[in-house]
Amino acid sequence: MKLHHSVSRPKRPRRTWLVAAVIACTAAVVLFLPGAAIAVSGAADTTDNALFVGPGSYVNQQCLNGSGPSPRVNCNIYQDKRDVWLNGGPVNGQSNLTEGYYFFAVLSPGGQPNPNDGAPLKANGNDPNLSDNVDAASNRVFHINASSQIDSYSGTHQQDNAYADPDGLLIQLFDYNDTPNPGGVYILAACFLSADDDTVHSVDPSDCKYDAFKVMSGSDCTENCGPPPADDLAVEKDARASFKKTFGWTVVKTVDGVHSVSYNASSKTLSYSVVYTKDGGTESDFAVGGTITVTNPNDFDVTGVVVSDQLDDSTGCTVADGTYTDGNGDEQTVGAGGGTIPSLTVVEYTYSCSPSGRTSANNTATATWDVGNGLPDTSKDGSASVTWPSPTLVHDCVTASDTIPAGGIAGSPPSGSICASKTFTYTKTVTISNACTTVNNTAAFTDGGYTGSDSATAQICGRIANGFTLGFWSNSNGRAVLCAHDPAWRNIANASNLRKQTGALYTVPTTGTCNAAQANFAAWILAANSTNMSYMLSAQMIATIYDVSYKNMLGTACITGINGSPISINNLIAGAIAFLGSNPNTTASGTARNTATAYKNIFDGLNNNLVFAVPGPC
């Protein structure tokens, strides 16, 4: 871009190049001699060549400003693309380019960040390199000698050595594509390759010197045209809209249709339903933003430039200070609230808008400037349509999960990614005895830090196992078990306050054979009846004691005691033994008989495998 005006110099027409560049070696290509590092100094610029009459010459090759006879000094505005020629540099050591090989390229404004062939299109769709669709950089390689002269060029662009040394060669930039810039501004890049090697390779933007020039579009000037009239600043812009759509999710988990359930069962199949629901989404974070490009197409600076922006729904937008790349490849800043835009400079301002919805369809940027600049007007607009794209989806999909314990599962517990409302159903079969278990599990969803969950609880209490009836302990099967533990079984019975129908203490014979003792015990059991509930309680209790002692009934299992509270079987036995010591003859109705009956019923249930465990502690 043309950021500073060149001063008049003898003989060699020039504009000032401002970029200093340092070129780094890479492993892929050899750029310099080992250990060499060359900083590119000086400048190169454009001029006209009105006297050129070679093949394909254009009669009116001239610049519309500058001074002196052609080739002119300080040329930067031209009548036609064919008028623009590259020269080497001024005499007298002023701004001389570093000696070595270069290639040149014509860029669109803003193309300085990538002067290489094949540069990707810019965000607005413009091609940053206007030369590479016409010919390759290898066709644009030239050499600068120690006197800052172009002393060799072997490509197909027109060259002219009609101007005697120390002027050196002039090279015509034509042909190149038209600039997309509304002010007709182009950027010339001269990129250093090597001090002694003309191999074309990818260069860093800082390897180049940049200069801006303008070509008048539609000029009817034919010859000896004077400087063009001042033009208003050109304003163009793009508009990129965006918004979010955030989805909300819920999860509901039930077991057998409810959130919590309890069962008495040695085996139970639980049926689960997990329902994930996705809502319709909520729109938010509406935004419009992009770039406002303001071009100064004049060969003088324009001061007091204020850039503003607004949507057609009256939403005011924030405009950041603008930036441009100077001739040294360095970024410079122009204030959005009243800055100065140098001659032939394109300044890019970013802007952002935060409307409350998606009603806006157009976005307009306005540049105003000081009256004293001598431009035809004092403001210029640039507009762009606002097209709302599909939203950025937030929580569109979530990951479903379930903490259901493994084993006994049939169906499909929640898992994996889901993007729509979905119901999972599955069953879990629980088998348990002598205790209670709680299946407490949680279904959840997550998407990053966004999560939700719901739990379901099922409590299953199994039957107390290994109960054996009075009939078992009075027959030969029971005799075999007891006699296998003789005399311990007699001692257990005689320590248990067992009672007779009369309330007297019953004692298993401690002498004689086990068979005889068991026969006596069997007769005692079979004679038990509820006339004396203490006697009936004694028979059922001792059977439970032997279930625990010899048939693997779990004495520490929790059951419901006579007062409705959890109690272990062992503690229930201890309580019944103590009760019998104080209540040997419960023949009449009343509290004692009721207590004896309650004890008896529990032991009867245990002996017949009818009692279920209850949750502890007990």
Q: Which domains occur in the chain, in start order?
A: 1-228 (no CATH), 245-279+394-461 (2.60.40), 282-391 (2.60.40.10), 470-607 (no CATH)
Q: What is the reported pLDDT for 433? A: 94
Asked if 79 and 113 count as a contact pair (C-beta separation under 8 A), the reply is no
Q: Which helix (H) or strand (E) holds 141?
A: strand 141-144
Angle 56-62-64 from CA coordinates, rounded to 5° = 150
Burial of residue 105 (CB within 10 Å: 0-12, 13-18, 19+) is buried
H or E element, residue 68: none
Identify the pLDDT of residue 90.
52
Closest among 40, 65, 354 to 191, alpha carbons compared: 40
Q: Please give the pLDDT value at position 228.
A: 79
Question: What mean pLDDT do residues 524-550 have?
Answer: 97
Percent of the chain with pLDDT over 90: 77
Supply the pLDDT for residue 253: 98
Residue 135 has pLDDT above 50, yes or no: yes
Is residue 66 left, alpha or beta, with left meaning phi > 0 and alpha meaning psi from -120 to 50? left
Look-up of token digits 């950089």? 137
- Provide φ and ψ at 76, rounded to 5°: -150, 0
Say yes or no to pLDDT of 26 above 70. no
Q: What is the pLDDT of residue 531?
A: 95
**What pLDDT sits at residue 222?**
57
pLDDT digits (tens, 9 = 90+) for 363-398: 999 999 999 999 999 999 999 999 999 999 999 999
DSSP state of 316: B
Confidence category of residue 510, pLDDT binned at 50, 70, 90: very high
Neighbour count for residue 127 (Cβ, 10 Å): 17
* Pair type for strands 267-278 and 422-431: antiparallel
Average pLDDT over residues 15-32: 31
Model confidence, pTM: 0.71
Q: What is the pLDDT of residue 67?
A: 74
Q: What is the pLDDT of residues 226-247, one digit of tens each?
A: 677 899 999 999 999 999 999 9
Most confident of 26-40, 56-70, 140-154, 302-316: 302-316
List residues bridging with 612 in a β-sheet. 463
Confidence of residue 148 (pLDDT cuts 50, 70, 90): confident
- Give residue 80's pLDDT: 86
- What number is the average pLDDT over the span 581-592? 95
Arithmetic mean of pLDDT, 209-225 = 75
Tens digit of each residue's pLDDT (9 = 90 or more) over 294-320: 999 999 999 999 999 999 999 999 999
The whole-angstrom separation of Cα 16 and Cα 212 is: 10
The average confidence (pLDDT) of the chain is: 89
Which two tokens mark 121? 């299109």
pLDDT computed for residue 48 by the predictor:
83
Taking the CA atoms of 308, 311, 315 and 321 in sequence, report the sign of the dihedral they define: negative
For residue 93, give the 3-state DSSP assignment.
Answer: coil
Q: Looking at residue 12, what is its pLDDT?
A: 32
Question: For residue 474, what pLDDT is reported?
Answer: 97
Cβ neighbors of 177 (< 8 A, separation 6 or more) are 127, 130, 131, 133, 134
In tens, the pLDDT along 78-134 reads 888 988 999 875 544 445 788 999 999 999 998 999 999 999 998 778 899 999 999
**How many C-beta atoms lie closer than 10 Å to residue 373's C-beta?**
20
pLDDT value of residue 500: 97
* Residues whose CB is less than 8 angstroms from the CB of residue 613 and which lie 6 or more positions away in sequence, other chains included: 433, 434, 435, 436, 461, 462, 463, 464, 557, 558, 559
Tell me the pLDDT tens digit for each residue of 438-497.
Answer: 999 999 999 999 999 999 999 999 999 999 999 999 999 999 999 999 999 999 999 999
| Rounded distance between C-alpha atoms, residue 549 and residue 481, angstroms | 10
Identify the band that residue 36 occupies on the pLDDT scale cut at 50, 70 and 90: very low
Distance CA 344, CA 595 (A): 109
Report the 10 Å Cβ neighbour count for 569. Answer: 27
pLDDT at 1 over 60: no
DSSP E strands in 15-97: the ranges are 21-22, 39-40, 46-47, 77-78, 85-86
Task: Please tell me the predicted confidence (pLDDT) of residue 10.
Answer: 31
Cβ atoms < 10 Å from Cβ of 523: 10
Could you tell me which of 384, 370, 449 has the C-alpha nearest to residue 124?
384
How much is the pLDDT for 71? 74
Gap between the terminal Cα atoms of the chain: 90
With a CB cutoff of 8 Å and minimum separation 6, the contacts of 325 are 1, 110, 112, 113, 210, 331, 332
**CA–CA dist 309, 383 (Å, integer):** 9
pLDDT at 24: 32
Conformational region of residue 3, where left means phi above 0, alpha means psi within -120 to 50, and beta covers everything else = alpha
Q: Quick check: 4 pLDDT over 50?
A: no
What pLDDT score does 19 carry? 30
- Residue range 235-290, pLDDT digits in tens: 999 999 999 999 999 999 999 999 999 999 999 999 999 999 999 999 999 999 99
46 pLDDT band, cuts 50/70/90, is confident
- Written as one string, the DSSP assignment of 441-482 is EEEEEEETTEEEEEEEEEEEEPBPP----HHHHHSHHHHHHH
